[in-house]
Structure 1
Amino acid sequence: MALATRSLWNIPNILTVSRVALIPVLLVVAYSPLIWRHEIAAVIFAVAAITDWFDGYLARTLNQGSAFGRFLDPVADKLMVAAALILLVEWHSHVLMVIPAIVIISREITISALREWMAEIGKRAQVAVSSIGKWKTAAQMVSITVLLLDWEIFNALGWVLLYVAVVLTLWSMCVYLLAAWPSLREVD
């Protein structure tokens, strides 16, 4: 029993759990009266984004991959991105923010459901993470960090990267759906 506990609470999994734990911290800071709330929120999100890359790297390098980590890592990413996007919709309440937020969150729900279904029929490998998906994630993380920062000098960059992320989001969704299309067309 102690061996199972040790492998569950390894460094990669602790980083992933910390990413989930940062969500309420991000929200408390964002709604606080602090003068530096935008900067602190951006740092919190950036730290979470860095742990997203770092936990996967450590899991592979230290051979500490686990079922718990494979489950929670993508969930943590989606929760953090969704929380930040909803926050940004409130801070920038216009259609130019609402549409990207809806596209990104909808894609994440769609692809998560697709992967779950493909795993159920034994074809999960057909919808494994692609390089486009990794570029999409990078564009999302940087754009959200910059937009949370809310420094006028960088806002244009944040908006451009957000729309690059939307294009990559739609592109990667199409790639995954096309890969799954033969299975989706099958008749029971």
Structure 2
Amino acid sequence: MLTVPNLLTLSRILAVPLLVFLLWSPTPWQYGVTFVLYCLVGITDYFDGYLARAQGTVSRLGQFLDPIADKIMVASVIVMLIAREPVRGFEGPIVTDWHLIPALIILLREIIVSGLREFLASLRISVPVSQLAKWKTTFQLVSLGALILAGALPGQAWVHPLGLGCLWAAAALTLVTGWDYLRVGLKHMD
């Protein structure tokens, strides 16, 4: 069922290859374009759910695609930011050294929670998204946006540390919410 909310979700999925391409070997202006695209994609994440509920068009396709769209976008951007090599004299939006830890925590949690949700769905058990998980997503999206923006604004030294700080905050919330999901899942395992 191709409703406006589902088309918005699909647009997020289709934007991922473009985000990856722009982050492949970016210049500051490409980081700027990437940041704008990333913000547009993030806005569609809000509006697809809002419109689906407001129009009464919540669909199984949307419920299936929405978390996938979020996960592939976040995972792709994290991988591209990890893959960047430092440029002499410009750190840019690189995620290196100890900052790989929160990036890996976020990626691993996404895989674990996806598997757990699939397992629980087979038992017809749904795990609603908590308010804390929404905060985790907010910190995660702000973090990645700030890290991309750091590449567009190399003279603004505060942007990159802001992105890294939000990445650590997102990872901390990721551990808490991941444990919450795991705790629910363990109750239903033999």
**TM-score where L is the length of structure 2:** 0.87
User: In structure 1, what is the equivalent of residue 132 of structure 2?
Assistant: 132
Task: Say which of 162, 178, 181 aligns to 2:167.
Answer: 162
Is the CA contact 2:24–2:80 (under 8 Å) kept in the aligned structure 1? no
Q: Distance in 1 between matches of 2:176 and 2:70?
A: 19
Report the structure, 1 or 2, having the larger helix content: 1
Q: Does 1:77 align with 2:77?
A: no
Gaps of 5+ in 2: 85-93
Moved more, 172-181 or 161-170: 172-181
Q: Distance in 1 between matches of 2:105 and 2:181?
A: 15
Q: Does 1:114 align with 2:116?
A: yes
Q: Distance in 2 between matches of 1:49 and 1:75?
A: 14
Q: Distance in 1 between matches of 2:186 and 2:120?
A: 11
User: In structure 1, what is the equivalent of residue 22 of structure 2?
Assistant: 29
Q: Distance in 2 between matches of 1:34 and 1:148?
A: 11
Is the CA contact 2:103–2:167 (under 8 Å) kept in the aligned structure 1? no
Query: By how many angstroms is 1:170 displaced?
Result: 0.5
Q: Distance in 1 between matches of 2:45 and 2:133?
A: 14
Aligned with 2:34: secondary structure? helix
CA RMSD of aligned residues (A): 1.4
Task: Say which of 42, 59, 62 aligns to 1:66.
Answer: 59
Identity %: 39
Q: Residue 163 and residue 33 in structure 1: after superposition, are their counterparts in 2 closer, same or farther (change >3 A)?
A: closer
Gaps of 5+ in 1: 1-7
Aligned with 1:36: secondary structure? helix
Q: Does 1:145 align with 2:152?
A: no
Query: By how many angstroms is 1:96 displaced?
Result: 2.7
Q: Residue 89 and residue 181 in structure 1: after superposition, are their counterparts in 2 closer, same or farther (change >3 A)?
A: same
User: In structure 2, what is the equivalent of residue 4 of structure 1?
Assistant: none
Query: By how many angstroms is 1:181 displaced?
Result: 2.2
**What amino acid does structure 1 have at the position aligned with 2:142?**
V
Aligned with 2:187: secondary structure? helix
Is the CA contact 1:46–1:141 (under 8 Å) kept in the aligned structure 2? no
Moved more, 19-28 or 34-43: 34-43
How many pairs were matched up?
A: 176
Is the CA contact 2:146–2:163 (under 8 Å) kept in the aligned structure 1? yes
User: In structure 1, what is the equivalent of residue 87 of structure 2?
Assistant: none
Query: By how many angstroms is 1:54 displaced?
Result: 1.0
**TM-score where L is the length of structure 1:** 0.88
Is the CA contact 1:88–1:97 (under 8 Å) kept in the aligned structure 2? no
User: In structure 2, what is the equivalent of residue 5 of structure 1?
Assistant: none
**What amino acid does structure 2 have at the position aligned with 1:115?**
R
Q: Distance in 1 between matches of 2:142 and 2:19?
A: 16
Q: Does 1:39 align with 2:32?
A: yes
Q: Distance in 2 between matches of 1:181 and 1:51?
A: 34
Q: Distance in 2 between matches of 1:176 and 1:14?
A: 29
Residue pairs, 1:71-110, within 5 angstroms: 71-91=64-84, 92=94, 94-110=96-112
